[in-house]
A and B are shown apart, each in its own frame.
Chain A
Amino acid sequence: MAKVTVNGIEVEVPNGSAVIQACEAAGIEIPRFCYHERLSVAGNCRMCLVEIEKAPPKPFASCAYPVADGMVVHTDSPMVRKARRGVMEFLLINHPLDCPICDQGGECDLQDQAVGYGGDHTRYEENKRAVKDKDLGPLVKTVMTRCIHCTRCIRFATEVAGVPDLGATGRGETMEVGTYVERALGSELSGNLIDLCPVGALTSKPYAFTARPWELKNTDSVDVLDAVGANIRIDTRGAEVLRILPRLNEDVNEEWLGDKSRFAVDGLRRRRLDKPWVRRDGKLHPASWDEAFAAIAAKLKGKEGDRIGAIAGDLCDAESLLALKDLMGALGSVNLDCRQYGEKLDGSRRDFYLFNSGIAGIEDADAILIIGSNPRHEAPVLNARIRKRYVAANIPIAVIGAAADLTYRAEHLGDSPAVLKALLNGAHPFAEVLKTAQKPMIIVGQGALRRVDGEAVLDGAWTLAAQSGALGAEWHGFNVLHTAAARVGALDLGFLPGTGPGVGGKGVAGMMGGGVDVLWLLGADEFDTSRIGTNTFVVYQGHHGDAGAARADVILPGAAYTEKNGTYVNTEGRVQRGALAIFPPGDAREDWTILRAFSAVVGKTLPYDTLEALRSRLEKVNPVFARVGFLPRFPCADLTGPGVAVPARSPGAMSDAAFVDAVANYYETDPISRASPTMAECTVTYAPTAKLAAE
């Protein structure tokens, strides 16, 4: 540790820290453009100049100068102020004075710091430099004349995103930041460039000229478009969500956010269900809540519980899942399922379906095996964490599944469970790598579980983890990577076919083809609705007119994740709360209140009238819901796998069919992103083959 005195405040910082970190430890904010704590040091903007005593009499760039014991730093001396004013004057020489028409206005580092260090007039009389704008694709808008060459975007793309597309070509006056060969940025994290850019050179294309930051109301929430549970800030004006930005959470998303989570917001305004609908004579007609409820109640009348079923979708909050489960229980039904893709998840023990190592735990791993997953598309922020670990420690990473560029070097072992078998026999050399590793991670994707032999693959992966010493008191290396934000919460609540003596609930497959007479879909759109029996009465409760609503006999308009106070459990089992930013459109209501209201209509009134009462019921059903926000590490106490003593589930039952990734097109995975014009444009740009396959 080094003792450093900053403006008379003594602080201790680790050896090797930069002076700017010592200043921050002392609580002094240093103006900066190029320095960013998650990127390498560039030291090229020169805004962070400070004065250091007993050093050569010149200003030092504090971001690129290491501390020494006994160093005395001044951050507000006349020399420092003069030097920073000089830097600011130079930065402004080629920066256009177009703040009134710049989208960064109001949240611009250059604007803010020009107030502190800018002159009151310009001494520059020559022509300003003008730079041609670059086309970086449908998400990032460029006004390159505003660029101050901090190179943050270049460093982010190269280091964090692992997609080295951006660079600085030319030099001096003719230096330009760009891709040189015009093309769209090939990263699922490209939206973060907008946050990183300290000026208005890179701004959001879909959000261009929409609003000023001071007009927006900010609501802290969590993202539900993948299972990472990235922390977000929802920016709204009036009754509209205008944009979504990431919020800092070191354990989940650091400060990054995937492009789908950020840019699918325009999908929240389109194809919305804003009033109840009832099908009469084969056509859907607008109806009142009472009519819709009456239509369902009439169908339910006299039905055995066994003839009623419910399927939960990917975006549901835990509150509505529990309310639906309780309602079904009150109606005598145990036909529940949340696994609409037919994935063979085992809900019998929590660590059978969690990402047990934790997202932050990736930074401790020393070998990673990915089975049937493309984390770059299924969870881009989590993939960035794997890359971070790879860059820091160059750990061995291997993939069984479709070969893909994951932004780090990953050995492609093969594409079928045959490789997994070889690893279990110890015949494959990578088995030794996993065994010698202290903290090996095995990541099982949904692509590996959405198969007929999914149970065998799950068990095989568990057995491999047990054999490799990945399951222990200190480290739990068995990880299931989910793609749906609702899945873990639903599994925690036991939203699965009921089991027990004399009880055999139907799963998704059992409810198809007339297996039930009344089917309640809670935002379930991801299965083939044509498999539902023609005589089955379908209730669709959700927020978008997607596959489920098209098949429905009654539509109950619910709230999207930005419109309700909901609890979500992410893939690692972290319970997080989303918040209501705006109210649902039209007659739509928060989902649990719809279920509560309906329960009264059929005389099975659910015992909660407030969100608090419902949440205390959540905690009773599963105590994990009492633990909001943080994630205790659980060791693995019991090595018994999910498929013990069930021969059909033994690893030997694995077929040799190749794994198929769960996410074919990252940009369109759920009703919200499918309704988003921006995501449609991204699909055309980045995944034209996926688009063709879908059509």
Chain B
Amino acid sequence: MTEANTVEPTEFSFDAESDAMIAKHLAKYPAGKQASGVLPLLDIAQRQMKRVTGSAWIPRVAMDEIARRLDMAPIRVYEVATFYLMFNTKPVGTWHLQLCTTTPCWLRGSDDVVAACRKVTGIQGWGETSADGQFTMSEVECVGACVNAPILQVNDDFYEDMDASSTVELLEALRAGTQPPVGSAKGRQNSAPEGGPETLTTLQFPTTSAGE
């Protein structure tokens, strides 16, 4: 993590790309109720920070700008931004590792995934960023993909069915600057059973061409 990234910027303004998205979202709300758009705007701000600085986070000046745009008190924006774990109010690394340690993932071995992450990145505590600024590790609650547990979410993407070795492999690839395809590390299709279908195997479907 470079020193410049940890410092709170002194100003923030939405760029043209963000402005286009903001207009789209605010059109959903009736006049006077535009404060309802605070969540999309926070997300847009975080994505703009990712685009511009490489670190997906929302500085305070961005929250102030959102408050100004939506005509609400800045503290109301701070409250929302700090409530949701998806919004980072401190800078994060290029790859934000969000590790689910809730019961299903834990039962399926999330402890191994966490240990592998620590070993590769050298990060000790939750919410910390590695010395090279590449990785930030966060502990998250259930991300809603228990059937493919354990889950390692990297930025917006889910890596599923993780274990220690696949985690090391993934992190090495990320460090090298390539992002492997998302999905199951065991190669299963979505959340289908491992090793192919186990039920309804006797059903026969006529091929479409034969029917005509």
Contact = CB atoms under 8 A, between A and B. Distances in A.
Contacts of B83: 169-171
A209 interface: no
Contacts of B173: none
Contacts of B82: 169-171, 180
Contacts of A165: 73, 75
Contacts of A491: none
A407 to B, nearest CB: 12
Interface of B: 60, 73-76, 78-79, 82-83
Interface of A: 158, 164-171, 179-181
24 contacts: A164-B75, A165-B73, A165-B75, A167-B73, A167-B75, A167-B76, A167-B78, A167-B79, A168-B79, A169-B78, A169-B82, A170-B82, A170-B83, A171-B82, A171-B83, A179-B75, A180-B60, A180-B74, A180-B75, A180-B78, A180-B79, A180-B82, A181-B60, A181-B74
A658 to B, nearest CB: 28
Give the residue among A167, A170, A179 with the most B Cβ atoms within 10 A: A167
Contacts of B79: 167-169, 180
A168 B73 CA distance: 13
A185 to B, nearest CB: 11
B73 A164 contact: yes
Nearest to B84: A171
B91 to A, nearest CB: 17
B162 to A, nearest CB: 26
A538 B60 CA distance: 58
Nearest to A176: B82
Contacts of A171: 82-83
A168 B60 CA distance: 16
A471 B112 CA distance: 81
A165 B60 CA distance: 15
Nearest to A166: B75
A136 to B, nearest CB: 13
A410 B73 CA distance: 17
A200 B84 CA distance: 29
Contacts of B76: 164, 167
Please name the 7 residue pairs, one residue from A and one from B, whose CB atoms are nearest each other, closest first. A164-B73, A167-B75, A169-B82, A180-B78, A167-B79, A171-B83, A170-B82
Given A169-B79, A181-B74, 4 more contacts: A164-B75, A165-B75, A167-B73, A180-B60
Contacts of B78: 167, 169, 180-181
A131 to B, nearest CB: 14
Contacts of A167: 73, 75-76, 78-79
Contacts of B74: 180-181
A169 B60 CA distance: 13
Give the residue among A158, A169, A171, A179 with the most B Cβ atoms within 10 A: A169
A605 B191 CA distance: 104
B156 to A, nearest CB: 22
Contacts of B75: 164-167, 179-180
A547 to B, nearest CB: 41
A169 to B, nearest CB: 4
A162 B117 CA distance: 48
A508 B75 CA distance: 49
B18 to A, nearest CB: 23
Nearest to A167: B75
A168 B77 CA distance: 11
B82 to A, nearest CB: 4
A166 B74 CA distance: 10
Give the residue among B60, B73, B75, B78 with the most A Cβ atoms within 10 A: B75
Give the residue among A164, A179, A180 with the most B Cβ atoms within 10 A: A180
Contacts of A164: 73, 75-76
A180 to B, nearest CB: 4
A176 to B, nearest CB: 9
Nearest to A157: B75
Nearest to A179: B75
A180 B75 CA distance: 7
A447 to B, nearest CB: 29
Contacts of A180: 60, 74-75, 78-79, 82
Contacts of A181: 60, 74, 78
Contacts of B60: 180-181
Nearest to A168: B79
Contacts of A179: 75
A691 B74 CA distance: 28
B140 to A, nearest CB: 13
A424 B76 CA distance: 42
B83 to A, nearest CB: 5
B144 to A, nearest CB: 18
A179 B60 CA distance: 13
A159 to B, nearest CB: 12
B89 to A, nearest CB: 9
A171 B74 CA distance: 18
A442 B85 CA distance: 50
A181 B89 CA distance: 12
A158 B72 CA distance: 12
Nearest to A164: B73
B101 to A, nearest CB: 16
A424 to B, nearest CB: 34
Nearest to A154: B75
Nearest to A169: B82
A405 to B, nearest CB: 12
A171 to B, nearest CB: 5
A518 B78 CA distance: 63
A169 B73 CA distance: 14
A179 B76 CA distance: 10
Contacts of A158: 73
A180 B89 CA distance: 11
Nearest to B78: A180
A169 B87 CA distance: 13
B31 to A, nearest CB: 15
A166 B73 CA distance: 10
A164 B74 CA distance: 8
Contacts of B73: 158, 164-165, 167
A171 B78 CA distance: 12
A132 to B, nearest CB: 14
Contacts of A166: 75
A165 B75 CA distance: 6
A656 to B, nearest CB: 34
